[in-house]
Structure 1
């Protein structure tokens, strides 16, 4: 995110990454990048959430937010786009929750991802987005993710598809 603008980023890590602080920050920032554990609850999807320093930021809390200025959520966590295997047509996952909360775009993962792979994709993604933004061009999240995943593919090879396939984009 520092590629976008050092002045406009807020880094909440370790003990600063609390449920209330993150919820408050969502109201004040257009983009969010969550690099943490994603937790799916197939029996009660609204209890699915992100593991933060002091507890779980539940989907229920996110979906009650009205984020008027939200633009993009990058969910660099495991299984943020995985629904219930028994109800694939009715998936209520973390990426869907971000769309419901008001983010028109969400980058998510369909299964567990490695930290190194997530860093490669995120670094490439934000570099591409920064180039487009500085050129006053329309933000194209799906294109940036596609190009970032291609960079991971080039590093890990086609045979290691479990590393590059899980990254998906929802929304505009």
Structure 2
């Protein structure tokens, strides 16, 4: 999205469009401000004067499905003093109303970030190019990361930064897919018990 003058996206334009979008993908630079986490920001065209910060995002009231933050350190927990407060761009997107958020724990490689994103969206559309299903975000990211991990198994810094934060049913899907946990009831809120990696999951 661009401004009427043809320049890159500005904070005002992005905030305006977010109220109309169910899916938002950011591919840009990100800054984690460990001294003042509420000022962590995405670097849009006017970031020097009007940055898109955690504070600006958290004030929104959206009914949205997926935010993919393909930028550096968008889920950086900050210093040890603030680690239990989870103030970062990914949590701000959740607070603003996104059901699923893809973020990063540290700076990421641009080329591999694009590869992971492409694999992620391919998986969301079941490889058919059909309408994507954001509720499969956790599973899609899992497979995208495993693909890169298989290429660079000894360099987790290249692939382990990406994370999914989102709704519990989506997490249940990936856990049951990997056959690590089993529930004794169909209710996703029912207690779960450890069955082991070789357990048969109902």
What TM-score range do you get, normalising by the shorter chain?
Answer: 0.7 to 0.9
Does the residue aligned with 1:32 lie in a helix, a strand or coil?
Answer: strand
- CA distance in 2 between counterparts of 1:58 and 1:83 reads 15
Q: 1:5-154 alignment to 2 at 5 Å?
A: 11-12=1-2, 15-55=7-47, 56-68=51-63, 70-86=64-80, 87-131=82-126, 134=130, 139-154=135-150
Runs of 4 or more consecutive aligned structure 1 residues displaced over 2 Å after TM superposition: 11-16, 132-139
Higher gyration radius (CA): 2
Bigger helix share:
1
Does the residue aligned with 1:148 lie in a helix, a strand or coil?
Answer: helix
Does the residue aligned with 1:89 lie in a helix, a strand or coil?
Answer: coil
Over the aligned positions, Cα root-mean-square deviation in angstroms equals 2.1
Displacement of 1:136 after TM fit? 8.5
Displacement of 1:15 after TM fit? 2.3
Gaps of 5+ in 2: 168-202
Please report the TM-score for the alignment, with normalisation by the length of structure 2.
0.73
Equivalenced residue count is 160
Displacement of 1:116 after TM fit? 0.6
